[in-house]
Structure 1
Amino acid sequence: MIVLSASFFLRSRWIQFRAIMGQSNSQLSEFQKRKLLHEFHTFFDLNKDGKLEVKDMHLAKKKICEMSGWKPGTEKYRKINELIIQIWTKLDEDGDANFDGRITEDEWLNMWENFNRRSLLKATKENNNGTTNIPDWLEKYIEYKFDLLDRTGDGEIDIEEYEYVMSEFGVPSKDARNAFIMFSENYQKKVDAVYFRELCVQLYRSDDPCALGNFINGRLNYTD
């Protein structure tokens, strides 16, 4: 009876965790794949050659420095350069399965399935829901992205800042504004670093089409 009770408890925790995350197992759903591939092609593969390499990360550094007016030799330039190197080093370790210095679409998706698997197992063993678990490199990337969007550096992203930065990545102004209204809950929610991280976790981890984090990249749907 004790064994059965323990088994039932663990199963209940597992089901609860799956319900919170909106996913039933470590395998990515088609919805998750579309989200992750959109992220890959829009914000990572900046030279649009179908694979992610260190040069894409340097293009990201160049873009943010040009947008912000940070010149080589300045403290801001030095910090963003160090951050980009840290992100790539960790991302390369997690994603480059065949050690050829590049991450393909398949490797990108496999990386996320592997992380989901590890995260689900860890959450079950530690008796928690695991909703905040993300890779180490992504923690740094979220910091970078928040700073990129927070143009004035006041610790909060407003709609004008968001629309401007999204336009640099090809997002139409109308879509950006509608997306901001969605994830800010019609301007009722302050988009600070804590809430932005929460939204990012939903974008990368959740299989729930209603999760507000789905909109943080200015994409209103992932059906096409």
Structure 2
Amino acid sequence: MVSDFRKKKLQHVFTTFFDTNKSGNIDKKDFELAIDNIAKLRKFTSGDAKYNEVKTTLLKIWDGLQSRADADKDGEVSFDEWVSMWDDYAKNPTAALDWQKDYCKFIFQLEDASNDGSIDSEEFSSVYASFGLNKSDAVAAFQKMSKGKSSVSFAEFQELWKEYFTSEDASAPGNFIFGKTSF
């Protein structure tokens, strides 16, 4: 059974980053809106190489998510289906599904605007502000996530990612990887 604390974290990711059209479920339309939002953030234009890369990656993530989490095969992922899938992940995070690994890598690369292999506070907070979160809260979340360091590498981010989806400790640094400081 998933605790209320973990459900709140899962709700944050579900609502803020996946259910972009606010329908209450995740579907392919949400991913199409996310592609547009990311293109706007990074100033990609439809058809250029970076736009196509984002589109291909996000649609691959959607296919993986839908095939794993859409238990009733209705073309949408409900919040209950989402929680169930991440609960399975929490039981064995070393056996992450390919789409989960792809999503982790995608988020890191999205945040690493300078493409230097690490994310800093400005890169991190700019992404979360583009998703409607308060930028100063995202800066504070970065400080907690990074444990006061100026940057976070991909290897560190992967560990923080696992912690986000598995930890019951409200002060665990991984709880802050999605730009929020409290649940």
TM range (shorter): over 0.9
Shift of 1:206: 1.9
Any residues of structure 2 matched to 1:58-207 within 5 Å, and which? Answer: 58-117=32-91, 119=92, 132-187=94-149, 190-207=151-168
Kindly state the Cα deviation for residue 69 of structure 1 after the two structures are TM-superposed: 1.5
Q: 1:114 to 1:216 in 2, by over 3 A?
A: closer
CA distance in structure 1 between the partners assigned to 2:90 and 2:152 by the alignment: 26
- 1:113 and 1:106 mapped to 2: Cα distance? 10
Give the residue type in structure 2 aligned to 1:36: L
Ranges in structure 1 where 5+ consecutive residues have no aligned partner:
1-26, 120-130
The whole-number CA distance in structure 1 between the counterparts of 2:95 and 2:146 is 22
Letter in 1 for 2:106: Y
Distance, in Å, in 1 between the alignment partners of 2:4 and 2:81 is 16
Deviant stretches of 4+, over 3 Å: 114-117
- Structure 1: distance between partners of 2:135 and 2:42: 20
Matched, 1:214 2:175: yes
Distance 1:147 1:116 in 2: 23
1:56 and 2:30 matched? yes
Kindly provide the CA deviation profile for residues 30-80 of structure 1, in whole angstroms up to 9, marking residues without a partner as x: 111111111100111011111100111111111111111211221111211
How far did residue 210 of structure 1 move? 2.4
Give SS of 2:118's match: coil
For the 8 Å contact 1:134–1:201, the answer to whether it is kept is no
Asked which structure has the greater CA Rg, the reply is: 1
Contact 1:200 1:213 in 2 (8 A): yes
The structural deviation recorded for 1:135 is: 2.5
CA offset at residue 175 of structure 1?
0.9
User: Is the 1:51–1:105 contact (alpha carbons within 8 Å) kept by the matching residues of 2?
Assistant: yes
TM-score (norm 1): 0.77
- Name the count of aligned residue pairs: 183
